[in-house]
Each structure stands twice: as C-alpha cells, then as structure tokens.
Structure 1
Amino acid sequence: MKQLRSGVLLGCSLLVAVQAFYSPSDDVVELNPSNFNREVIQSDSLWLIEFYAPWCGHCQKLTPDWKKAATALKGIVKIGAVDADQHKSLGSQYGIAGFPTIKIFGANKNKAEQYQGGRNSQAIVDGAMNALRAMVKERLSGKSGSSGYSKQQSGSDSDGKKDVVELTDDNFDNMVLDSDDVWLVEFFAPWCGHCKNLEPEWAAAASAVKEQTKGKVRLGVVDATVHQAVSSRYGIRGFPTIKIFRKGEEPEEYQGGRSRRDIIERAMDLFSDNAPAPELLEILNEDVLKNTCEDSQLCIIGILPHILDTGAAGRNSYLDVMVKMADKYKKKMWGWLWAEAGSQMALEASLGIGGFGYPAMAAINTRKMKFALLKGSFSDTGIHEFLRELSVGRGSTATLAGGVVPKIHSVEPWDGKDGQLPEEEEYDLSDVELDDFDKKIEL
C-alpha cells in the first residue's frame, strides 16, 4: 500500500514537474487565449512562439535552450510559449499538429511563419535575428503588416474619426446596451480569414451608415479572442458572427450578405424601423425650404387649398395624408413641406402648379433643380403611386423655371383654426342727403 501511495505521489510530482516548463522568473512569456491577442497580435515586436505539450519529450528537451534564447534576446525579440495541450483552441487556430512547433510572428501577425531552424539556443537566436532583419527591411521599404481590426483601430481614417467602434468587455454595456442607437456588432478573431475579408466591407459600410443615419446606427467590432466575457455572454462560437442590438430588446442574429451594400441596406432598414417619420413643415420663410431641401435628396411639397375653401377639418385631412406618406417613405429620408395656395406664388409659378388646381404636390431635387408633379389624386393611392415611380427612376421631370429656387415670402403660421372672411367696412349714411344723391343720378 505504501509502495502504491509512493508511486502515486511520484507520478503526481513528475506531472507537476513536467507541466511547470516555465515560471514567472523566466524570460519566456506564457501565452493563452486570454492574453494572446493583447501580447502578440497587437504588438509591434517580433515574436517566436513555441507550441508545446507537457507530456512531449522533445518539448521537455527544448525547454532549457528556449529559456536561454529568451534571456539572450530580451528586449530585442519576444519569446513566448503556449501549452497547446491545455489550450487546444489556440493551437488549432495556427494549425499545430505536432510538438514542439515554433512559429514566427513578424510584421503581419495574421500570417505566422514556420520556424525551420535548429533547436539549440544559438540556432534559435540566429533564426530570430534573421527574422528581425527581414522585418526591419520590410519597414524600410514602406511595407507593413496588418493585425486586423484591433491594430487598425489604433489609427484613424482620413477625417480623423473612427467609424468602426472598437468594443471591449469594459465598454460594451455602456456603449451598446445603454445606448438609444441601433448597433451592428461583429465578433471576430484576428486569425480568421473570413473576418479579414469582411474588414474593408465593414469599415466602408460603417462610414456610409454613420453619415446617412446621423450616427443613429453604429457599427462596432469585438475581438472575441481577447474580450471573452462579452463574447461568451452572447454564445459566440464561430467567426465572424454579427449581432444586432436594439435598446431593451434581445440581440438579433444578422442574416444578411457580407458586402458593404448588403450591410448598408440592412442598417438603413433598421434605421427606418426605429426612426420617427420626418416632420411635415409649413413653408413659413426661405430658411424652412432651404434647410429642409438641401439636406434631402427630394423635397415633397404639398400646395393645399386656401383655408376658406376647406376649413380646418378639410385641411387636416390633406395633412394627414401627407404625414401617412411621409411615414411610409421615411426610409428615403426625404423632406416634407406644405404651403397654402396663394401664399408662395413664385414657388407655384416655377412649378407650373396653377393649371392643375388644388391640392397639388411636387417633388423637387434642389441639387439638380428638377421637379416632378403629381398628376393623380391627392390620396394615399395617388401619392404612393407618384412616389413609387420616382423611387425607381421613372416619372416625368422638368427643370425649375429659371434654374433656381424661387423667392420664398415670410408668412404667419396657420393657427389650426377655420378661416374667417375679412370684415367688410361699415359706412355711416346718416349725414348723407339722399335727395341731392338722386338729383346727381338724374343729371
């Protein structure tokens, strides 16, 4: 029994001795899935990394030379080690099939090279210095590697803004879950080929979406190999995984295409689903027309009958139709305006509206100084057909008279009430001599 117990204890002690390849006092950096991206992928240093298994005899034999090389290269080249038996996922990422395997992570951390040199300390140092010289030569020639989103986000784009937001375990809840904005979040891994293919599409889409939605829809990225808490929370198992986050709702899996066009289209759908309908404004002065139409591809302008012809109820029924259509086409982000017939005569004249009667409607592109007139009924069906034709590039257009936006007069806003006829002036006839008036008529 004592022999058995001593044998077990000996086996355990041997196991501990085998596993304890490197200690904190060594110059070899122990790497794992939690620190690999931070220490290696995001680093500008050259790394030589040994992928080993504690039970591997060749690995045990390499250990003293690996430590000696690490000490010799301290401050020059980083030397690391990964227990690929314990961290199988990290080993599989780099195609580790045997032990020990040594990889060189140079300028492009996403394309590790296989170390082919000898396994003694001198050969390792020589191989590291050769790789270092090659990396320096690349930098002198102006070439540089890419380390994925995390590396890219340390820089900035042409206008100095980060349109793809780098999300972490620390900032995710505050930036995404507590935000009123809609978020599309890509969970990626730096070694993932599909993630690298998606990167330029995601970045281009981020810029377009931010501009078109005024920042109401944002695109972010999470390095799932580093920020494992948030990735685990959402069950991320493959890369890239894209999820949609809306405040107060469960995250939704993104099912669309991976081109920038697909991403932008889905983002705009999300924006229109959550955005309020554009405000329908009365044309009260030049600024209202200018500010609304300059920011929109099209301005939809309704010219409504005079209040004396319809009363408040009639006018509100026309406005309700326009509000309904504004909501239906809110994804287009058009401007919506209205004016009372006769209040903006120059505008009516430039559009040739007078000949069609009231109510009337025009769609104006102030950038091209083109417009189209509603020929059908001023109703849900008529306006929908009119706008649908414009949306697909059909419909008859004309140039604004004079090729400029007509003069807009400042008017008082409608008070929401029925109109009143102007009061007729009363005349006091008490001091008029009717006899004299009759005589003048006879003459």
Structure 2
Amino acid sequence: MINSELIQRFQANYASDPINQAVENAVARVGMQEASFNNQTLRHHPFVFSHETKKGDITNQKSSGRCWMFAALNTARVDSLTKLNVESFEFSQNYPFFWDKLERANYFLNSIIETVNEPLEGRLVQHLLFDPISDGGQWDMFAGLLRKYGAVPKSAMPETFHSSNSRGLNQFITSKLREFAKTLRDAAASGASTKELEDQKEDMLYFVYNTLVKTLGMPPTEFTYEYRDRDNNFHRIENISPQDFFNDYVGWDLENIVSLINAPTQDKPYGRRYTVKYLGTVLEEQPINYINVPNDVLKEAAVNAIKNNEPVWFGCDVGKISDRTSGIMDLDLYQYDKTLSQPSQLDKAARLDYGDSLLTHAMVLVGVDLDSDGKPINWKVENSWGKDVGDKGIFSMSDAWFDQYTYQIAVNKQYIPEEWLKALDQPVIELQPWDPMGALAKVQ
C-alpha cells in the first residue's frame, strides 16, 4: 500500500543521492531524452558506408502513415532511374493510397460479413472495428496493390491535401465503415442472406469511392508521361496504363520477392511460414506470408542485395532509441542508466510478448558499412520524412540496433539460402489478428 511512511522513505532515498537533483534540473530544462543523450555515440556514425546502392531524392510522407508505400516505391524507382535513364524520378504515392483505401474498405466489409455470427463484444469483431482503414501496411499488402493496379509517376496523380494530411479523411471513412458494419450485422440478425449483404456492400463501397475521388482525385487508367533523360533528350510515353508502366519501367517479378521476419518468440519457430488472419488489403490477393529466420539470415540477405545495387525494404520500431535530428539509431544513444537509474531489461522476444515493441515504420536500406571480416558495422537508411531530419533525410543504424528493433525485410529469393526457402513448401501457420507480427508500418 502507498502510504505516508512509504513516500517518506522514497523521499529520503532520493535526497541521499545528490546526482538526482542535478539530473532533475537537466530533465526539467530539456527533457529526459536530451538529458540522457550520449554525445560519444555520434563518433560511431560518420555516415560513410563501404557499400551503397543507387537511390533517388529524399521523399516526404508528411502527415500520413504511408511509410510502407514510400519505402516500396523508393525501392522500385531505382530500377526506373536506369530504365528511363534519368537523374531523378518519383512515383505517385497518392495513386496506391487511393486504391489501398478502397480495397481496405472492401476487405473490412467482407470481414464483417464473414463474422456476422461472432459476438459484437468479442475480441475479433472489436479488433476489426478498431482501425478499419489505417494508413499503415506491410510489404505483401503493397505487392498486391502493385500486381493489380501498377504504378504511375508523381505527375500522373499528384498529392492532395488529404493524401498528405490523412487524419481527417481516415476519421470520416472510419466512422462510416463502423456505421456500415452495424447495418450489415443488423441485416444479418434479421435474416438477410449473404448475397443480400454483399449487394448492400456495393452501395457502401460506392460511398467510399465517391469520398476518395473528392479527396484524393480520380486515379488514371492511362496517362502520358513526358521527361528529359540524363543527356537532355526529350521523351514522351503516350497512353500507357499504370500496370504497363510498372512492368516496363520497374519490371519486378513480385513472386520472387519474399518477406523475412525475425520474431524470436517461443510460439514462432524459425524456418516456418506464417500469415495473419484478417490482415490484408486486396481481398483476392494471396495472404500475407512471412518466413521467420534468425537475424543473421536477414542481414546476410540484405548485404548481398545491397552489394548487387538493390535497395531493401525493411520494417522496424523506429521510435526506440533513435534520434530524428541526428538521424542515428543506436542502442548506446541514451544513457538512461545514468540519468534515470535503470534501462529496460527486456530482450527482443520479451518486448514482443509484453507489448513493448513491434513493427511501426518502413524505410529502405541503401547501404552498409562492412568491417574487414565482412560484418556490418552500420546501415545506411533512406527515410521518408523529408530532408530536414537526419543527414538530409538519411539515417545511420548500428548493427546492434538492427538486431533488436528490425523485424522484417523484403528481398529477392536469390539472396536467401535454400534451407530457409523450404518453408514456402510447408503448411502456413496462421497467427491471430492481434499478434505483434500483424502490426502495420505507419509512423509519420
């Protein structure tokens, strides 16, 4: 019980250490992070890397949670830079954002129809209702959008107010989707058939489509793209579809890109394939698939891709022990053991099990600094928060930070040892919708 005697003991213990008062004064002026900042860590991040890939200009997702889209398109444009023979190129992030919102609404309404017999107060239905049209996503979700809708240059579908400031749009559509969920569940309770519910769903989807066109713009079904190449030669690509543009000017075989995760928890053995129930965007696309592997496998695959000039999409918990101003992600960045007495004692598995960490943000690995034995020291990271953070938008991530807070990469099969690819031939293990590995990258 907390009583006056206990508080007096606490006060006496606090006063017995004069350092506490000095730290209290510092924290009061600058906050606990700045007061704990380890300036020596800066010396270990010179932002020089032994191996780098080609990359485009730094992008800015602004006040939206589209990091997973920005990271995927920033990875894809490296191939476009070569095929178009240009110095700079940027895909439209608004274009997949539109289709993801519409597809996400369809996925949600379909899930509501599937679960009409589940109790409203149950964990599953409440999970579905919690955040039905989040900005966030994962690699396989974006791969499905690319397969179905392709991609377009930024000029073919520029940003709008709500693509760059998505909160108000999300709140509006979320409220309507919850209303639609009630309508569908009420109709089912009154005896409506699945066919009748699906007919109602079409009208609901039109409302979402109408809203998206008014807030994000009409997505093109074909467009003309004009540009000048490195040699100042003019080019015009006329009347091309988004699907053909992606195939011609990126050309990825999406079936060969595999998602690897590192989740060292007891319930997820390495070398197995996982999916997450009720997690997706394009309903008819294949479910999310991960292969759970040790950290060394993730890192070896990423290093080999970078050596071959291929940037790597990855997902991490960016808010943990990182600094936006310097662009450093390092376990030694804050000396909380000296200012606040005790740092966290949880390891990576425990942080996942106890809700202390999960995937929150997606970025691109565009370089790595290897030591004389070929082991990573620091990783070069392309972020999508604009040029005013880090080293003009670039972050430096220590290899130890990678071990603790990186959870996922997407990489071509050719960089993954065959022993781990065998997992793709095994039965998939379904994770519950609220499993930490179902977290979405959406940090602004």
What is the TM-score of this pair, normalised by structure 1?
A: 0.18
Give 1 or 2 for the bigger CA radius of gyration.
1
